[in-house]
């Protein structure tokens, strides 16, 4: 089923994001965790696309498995990094032949060792160009794009970042999925400003439950997301107690999700990090 059909406004939908493991043991563990999370009937599972396109084949393989073995809609991530237009079209043809109907279109991060993104010769430089390419080549596909409630780290201002998002939406995106955040007010202000710009497609909050404070600090240092001081202090106080970090992080995420659902969000997209315990606890508490 396509994003454009899933977000029909009848109810908020739940989605899960995974990444392709690097080992056979990782594959087996992910299959177990997907099976656990699918008991909550998420609308779809998305699979990331490794840095520089390093997992492009694995991304497609996992999306095929999600749809065939698990009978659940998949969304494949897709970036511009390191690929010419012809190579991008080749990957899209493979995705379409594999039965993938939903694409998460991203510019992608600069390759390791590069400070800024530079398109390869014959490639694309921005996500809106990738959306245009997908929409022109496979108009039947549904397309998700990324939004940044607290601004993309490379954007000179939030206003410029919102204009960049508007270009992606105008190019043909069907839904916006946000970067992880921990301050709901920042998301709500972002949503309001998007609506003021005329962005009418669903804006879906991205939630990453904190289960390891050190890991989250590394992630937020790269993406610019804000961790509230009170939450940071609570986690720092138990940084040597993994179980306590898990409980604090999960309870915070439950509260986040409850507040967001009351605000009428069209869905919640969980960054599960290939594990099921935290997201399962949250969904159980939410009654999903």
Alpha helices in 80-145 (DSSP H): 85-97, 127-137
- Per-residue model confidence (pLDDT) at position 116: 66
Buried b (16+ CB within 10 A) or exposed e, 31-56: eebbeebbebebbbbbbbbbebbebb
Tell me the DSSP string of 231-269.
HHHHHHHTTT-HHHHHHHHHHHHHHHHHHHHHTT-SEEE
What distance in Å separates the CA atoms of residue 227 and residue 186, rounded to the nearest whole number? 12
Mean pLDDT of 182-187: 97
CATH classification of the domain holding 107: 3.20.20.220
Mean pLDDT of 168-191: 97
Percent above pLDDT 70 for the chain: 95
The whole-chain average pLDDT of the chain stands at 93
- Per-residue model confidence (pLDDT) at position 51: 60
pLDDT per position as a tens digit, 187-214: 999 999 999 999 999 999 999 999 999 9
The boundaries of the domain holding residue 109 are 3-286
CA 94 to chain centre: 22
How many domains does one find in the chain? 1
Query: What is the three-class DSSP state of 230?
Result: helix
Mean pLDDT of 29-50: 95
Tell me the DSSP string of 25-65.
HHHHHHHHHHHHHGGG--SEEEE---GGGTTHHHHHHHHHH
Mean pLDDT of 251-264: 98
> Which of 17, 65, 132, 150 does the annotation list as catalytic?
17
Helix (H) or strand (E) holding 229: helix 229-237
The pLDDT confidence band at residue 122, using thresholds 50, 70 and 90, is: confident
- Per-residue model confidence (pLDDT) at position 110: 62
CB 71 within 8 A of CB 113: no
CB 150 within 8 A of CB 186: yes
Contacts of 255 (CB under 8 A, 6+ apart): none
* Res. 53: pLDDT tops 70: no
* Res. 271: pLDDT tops 80: yes
Q: Which residue has the tokens 């010419």?
A: 84
* Res. 288: pLDDT tops 80: no
pLDDT per position as a tens digit, 234-256: 999 999 999 999 999 999 999 99
pLDDT per position as a tens digit, 67-121: 999 999 999 999 988 889 999 999 999 999 999 999 999 988 766 656 666 777 8
17 is an active site residue: yes
């Amino acid at each position: 089923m396509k994003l454009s059909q899933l977000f029909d406004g009848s109810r908020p939908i739940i989605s899960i994001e995974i990444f392709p493991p690097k080992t056979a043991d990782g594959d087996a563990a992910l299959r177990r965790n997907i099976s656990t999370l699918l008991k909550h009937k998420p609308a779809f599972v998305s699979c990331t696309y490794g840095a520089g396109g390093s997992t492009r084949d694995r991304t497609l393989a996992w999306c095929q498995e999600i749809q065939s073995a698990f009978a659940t809609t998949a969304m494949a991530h897709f970036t511009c990094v390191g690929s010419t237009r012809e190579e991008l079209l080749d990957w899209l043809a493979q995705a379409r032949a594999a039965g993938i109907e939903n694409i998460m279109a991203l510019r992608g991060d600069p390759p390791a060792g590069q400070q800024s993104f530079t398109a390869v010769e014959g490639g694309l430089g921005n996500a809106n160009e990738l959306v245009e390419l997908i929409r022109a080549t496979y108009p039947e596909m549904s397309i998700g794009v990324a939004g940044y409630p607290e601004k993309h780290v490379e954007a000179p201002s939030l206003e410029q970042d919102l204009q960049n998002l508007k270009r992606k939406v105008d190019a043909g995106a069907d839904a916006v999925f946000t970067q992880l955040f921990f301050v709901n007010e920042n998301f709500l202000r972002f949503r309001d400003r998007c609506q003021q710009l005329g962005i009418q497609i669903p804006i879906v909050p991205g939630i990453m439950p904190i289960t390891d404070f050190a890991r989250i600090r590394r992630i937020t240092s790269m993406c610019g997301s804000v961790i509230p001081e009170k939450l940071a202090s609570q986690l720092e106080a138990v940084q040597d107690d993994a179980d306590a970090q898990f409980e604090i992080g999960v309870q915070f995420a439950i509260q986040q999700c409850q507040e967001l659902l009351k605000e009428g969000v069209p869905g919640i997209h969980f960054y599960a990090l290939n594990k099921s315990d935290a997201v399962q606890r949250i969904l159980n508490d939410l009654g999903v």
